[in-house]
Amino acid sequence: MMDFKQVLSFVKIEHTLFSLPFVLLGYFIALEQFGLTLGIDLMWILLAAVGARGLAMALNRIIDRNIDAKNPRTMQRHLASGSMSLPSAWLLAGGFLVLLLLSASMLNEVALMMAWLPVLAFVAYPFMKRFTWLCHLWLGLCLGLAPAGAWVAIAADIHGWASITGDLASGQEFLWVPTILPLSAGVALWITTFDINYARMDVESDRDQGVFSFPAQFGELATTIASGMLTVLWVGCFVLANPTDGHVFSASGVFLGLVHLFIIVRRDVLVDFQSRLFQVSMSTGWMLVLSLMF
């Protein structure tokens, strides 16, 4: 029988701290863009985010259970170790899917009808690592949907499907292009950078099992160089998004990028590189949210 603590551990609830601030960014940007104030929609958006995050992790654990069982770092995970049954994991995944769909239905038709997109992305991700190192970018795209989804949940209340498609007949352009597009692209590239560095821990296991991680395919130096290039790109995206029309958000993005670069480039002289990278990455979104207040 599953208890609540086991469920939280199974879905790595602490990793929600990566996506949640970007959900809030998308929400607050929509409020500012359309002249709205805080409302009940925020509760449904957050519940949808919890459902999406839980579903993504559950599917990843289910599909990767055999790979996890052969990796020394992950062999103690619930399904790999046998501490949770496969039917229980599928039950959890179904519950999170219901939470996502129910919450989306409480927002608007567009949010509900577009729920297939993150679900498809979550299903595809675990399989991609079996075929291409671009799996890191795919994971980034999954997280990049967070601000876009929250923004659409609000924008569609006002503009319906035109919030996504635009309305050329009335001269309405794509409302998501100026801010949400570069913001989501920045999130995608940021998570990609984090993920290829996190994969450094599993190089030997990935090579043995034929998992196509970037470090396993190209080595340490290429991973560091790619990380630096990706960091410059995601900082540029955040600067381009600049939702406050000021300098605080952009300056925060640049500062965070420099911190990431220092940790990635100086990894050989840092104690516990992965913990430091995790902590800095986890704080990135929250610092950007705080910057919106200035």
- Report the percent of the chain where pLDDT is more than 70: 94
Residue 214 · residue 133 · CB < 8 Å: yes
Token pair listed for 64 = 């990767």
The set of residues, in sequence order, having a beta carbon less than 8 Å from that of 141 and lying 6+ positions away, is 121, 188
Taking 3-state DSSP, the helix, strand and coil percentages for the chain, each rounded to the nearest 5, stand at 75, 0, 25
In order, the DSSP letters of 83-132 are SS-HHHHHHHHHHHHHHHHHHHHTT-HHHHHTTHHHHHHHHHHHHHTTT-
CA dihedral 15, 285, 114, 133 (to 10 degrees): -60
pLDDT score recorded for residue 217: 93
> pLDDT (tens digit, 9 = 90+) per residue, 109-130?
999 999 999 999 999 999 999 9
Domain range annotation of the chain: 4-291
pLDDT score recorded for residue 16: 74
Q: How far apart are CA 5 and CA 287, in angstroms?
A: 28
Q: How far apart are CA 20 and CA 15, in angstroms?
A: 9
Query: pLDDT-based confidence at 271, cuts 50/70/90?
Result: low
> pLDDT (tens digit, 9 = 90+) per residue, 204-263?
999 988 889 999 999 999 999 999 999 999 999 999 988 776 678 888 889 999 998 888
220-244 b/e (C-beta count within 10 Å ≥ 16 → b): eeebbebbbebbebbbbbbbbbbbb
The set of residues, in sequence order, having a beta carbon less than 8 Å from that of 68 and lying 6+ positions away, is 61, 74, 75, 77, 79, 80
- Phi then psi for residue 172, to 5 deg, are -80, 120
User: Is domain 4-291 classified as CATH 1.10.357.140?
Assistant: yes
Query: pLDDT-based confidence at 44, cuts 50/70/90?
Result: very high
Query: pLDDT-based confidence at 274, cuts 50/70/90?
Result: confident
Closest CA to 154 of 106, 103, 107: 107
